[in-house]
Structure 1
Amino acid sequence: MNTPPALNGAIAANKVHHWLRAWYGADVPEAIDLDVVRQMLPTTPYGKGVREIRPPVQFNDDAFEGLLARDPGDPQVWGIAYNGSVSPERQRFTIAHELGHFVLHRDRQPRFHCDKESVHSGHETMRLIEREADDFASNLLMPGDRLREWISNRRIDLHVLSAIAKRFQVSFEALCIRFIKFTPQRAILVYWDNGYAKYEWRSSSAVRTRARIRRSGDPQEPLPGTLAADASVEQAWDGVEMSAAIWCPEEAPHMKLREFKHSYTSRDRVLTLLLLESAEPRAWDRSWQDGETLDAVNWRQ
């Protein structure tokens, strides 16, 4: 007898989508109604032993992201709090994240307090469950089948990705990260914070072809000759073509990439998207087949 796969964020979110289709009796809206999910979950196998998840409440604190907690006076009731001072899109992701804790982790502890750095700076168990809850939220809010349909056979630029983010009612950054996981293109996304690389995400095809950005120091700074290093360029949503070797040291000089740039309002945070020409995995380097599956790099520990 085959053992069913362990429950994770993607599997759980896909099952919730299955229940949502039954709930609506038709296609699920592009922008998931999280209040419907909240009310529905206690009636499903994922809500066993729970009578109610109360409506989320705001709690405004710069260091606070979200909270899931069991009512100490009634173990069949759970509640969610979120930071109401952030964008509506961020609020939606936080609430979906807390619902992920409800589905995946509530049997482990009665309270989950999520701050902005817990996914990166907490102990290993905390980092794992925070990432699992993020994975649930991403799959719930941005289902892969729809995203794959919307990006297939299209020339991708930041205008296209921004439009998709609006359809899902998620942040531009969250959509870009999700895009990296589903695009068949060789793609790299870098998040810059105060002039230094904080995170790098690579698509599966970028991983297979060993495409990664050139290390220039620790902490990593934007590379000379790139839009990321040019402070006079705030936005490049249509992209600029250049030699891929400027960014990626193992790329041949004739290979090209298109660099896109988005600067946030404060200009101290920047997203760089690199779309590289197609290439086959290098015949002399098949190590990715033996276990390199990570698509994200944390540059600043």
Structure 2
Amino acid sequence: MQLREEFKFDIRQVMRLLPADGKIKHLFRQFTLSPRTEGRARSVKNFAEALGFSVERQALPFGVNGMLKQDPFSDNSYCIVVNEKLSIEAQRFAVLHEMGHYFRHEKHDDPLAYAKYFDLSEAAFYVDKSEEREANEFAEALLFGNGQLVAAHTICLGDISKLAKYFGVTQAVVKVALVKLKTGYGKK
């Protein structure tokens, strides 16, 4: 399988979204350039907490993998909530996806502004397909960017289950990413 080297939304674009704070950019570089530590996928929970998020696992309604909500007690005033009913691998991707909403869609200049991803009703939640796609692209850039997926594909000899374990995500996430790299999906 011939894979392209990069996704439409790549790590360079992620870095442009980040505040000028060198600490935050350093944490992102560390996470993306070293996806594995001590023989396993790097902890996304530790990564999110280092960025100032609190991370919670809760039972969420069917079809809701996670949400971003305001939290005055976390360092950056946001909490990432993931559905505890999901596999650990799916929860990992959900955390990165919610970080995508934070960095791509939330305005951080007004701490009292209404967060559109905050679930007020326990039953209803905000869905914008383009923003959901953009949050997925953000997560994919963090996990697979900088040629990480291409390199791992070679190391794992294209074995989907090994790739999923390598990145600590579901096989479905890896399959979607491979299709995007193979076809150039989303390329301008």
TM bucket (normalised to shorter chain) is 0.5 to 0.7
Number of the residue aligned with 1:86? 86
> Percent same amino acid at aligned positions?
22
In 1, the alpha carbon distance for the partners of 2:166 and 2:131 equals 28
Q: TM-score under structure 2 normalisation?
A: 0.66
**More RCO (CA 8 Å, sep 6+):** 2
Which of 6, 19, 37 is residue 26 of structure 2 equivalent to?
19
Q: CA, structure 1 residues 131+27, in 2 after alignment: closer, same or farther (shift >3 Å)?
A: closer
Greater fraction of residues in strand: 1
Secondary structure of the residue aligned to 1:107 is coil
Question: In the alignment, which of 113, 117, 125 is matched to residue 112 of structure 1?
Answer: 117
Which one has the bigger helix percentage? 2
Amino acid at match of 1:20: L
TM-score normalized by structure 1? 0.44
Cα distance, 1:57 vs. partner? Answer: 2.9
Matches within 5 A, 1:237-252: none
Residue 61 of structure 1: SS of its match in structure 2?
coil
Question: What's 2:150 paired with?
Answer: 148
Bigger Rg, structure 1 or 2: 1
Aligned to 1:63: 63
RMSD: 3.7
Counterpart of 1:177?
176
User: Which of these residues, 30, 34, 46, is aligned with residue 36 of structure 1?
Assistant: 46
SS in structure 1 at match of 2:55:
coil
Partners of 2:155 and 2:88 in 1: how far apart? 30
Cα distance between partner residues in 1 of 2:169 and 2:74:
33
Instruction: Name the structure 2 match of 1:164.
Output: 163
Matches of 1:67 and 1:54, distance apart in 2: 12
Following the alignment from structure 1 to structure 2, what is the Cα–Cα distance between the partners of residues 69 and 40? 17
| Pairs aligned (count) | 159
Provide closer, same or farther for how the CA distance between residues 96 and 110 of structure 1 changes in structure 2, counting only shifts above 3 A. same
Among 110, 130, 133, the alignment partner of 1:131 is 133
| Contact 1:141 1:170 (C-alpha < 8 Å) held by counterparts | no
Per-residue CA shift, 1:124-154, capped at 9, x if unaligned?
A: xx21111111111122223351211133498
Q: Deviations over 1:32-69 (max 9, x none)?
A: 3212321332xxxxxxxxxx421223223323221101
User: Is 1:96–1:137's contact at 8 Å kept on the other side of the alignment?
Assistant: yes
Counterparts of 1:88 and 1:74, CA distance in 2: 23
How far apart, in 2, do the equivalents of 1:27 and 1:72 lie?
31
- The whole-number CA distance in structure 1 between the counterparts of 2:151 and 2:107 is 36
- CA pair 176-14 structure 1, distance change in 2 beyond 3 A: farther
Matching residue's letter, 2:41: A
Residues 1:143 and 1:13: Cα distance change in structure 2 (over 3 Å): farther
- CA–CA distance in 2 between the matches of 1:111 and 1:163? 37
SS at 1:112's partner residue? coil
User: 2-side partners of 1:147 and 1:32: how far apart?
Assistant: 15
| Rounded Cα–Cα distance in structure 2 between residues aligned with 1:73 and 1:169 | 29
SS state at 1:56 partner: strand
Tell whether the 8 Å contact from 1:90 to 1:170 is kept in structure 2 after alignment.
yes
Q: Report if aligned partners of 1:58, 1:83 keep a CA contact under 8 Å in 2.
A: yes
Aligned partner letter, 2:68:
L
Give 2:105's aligned amino acid: H
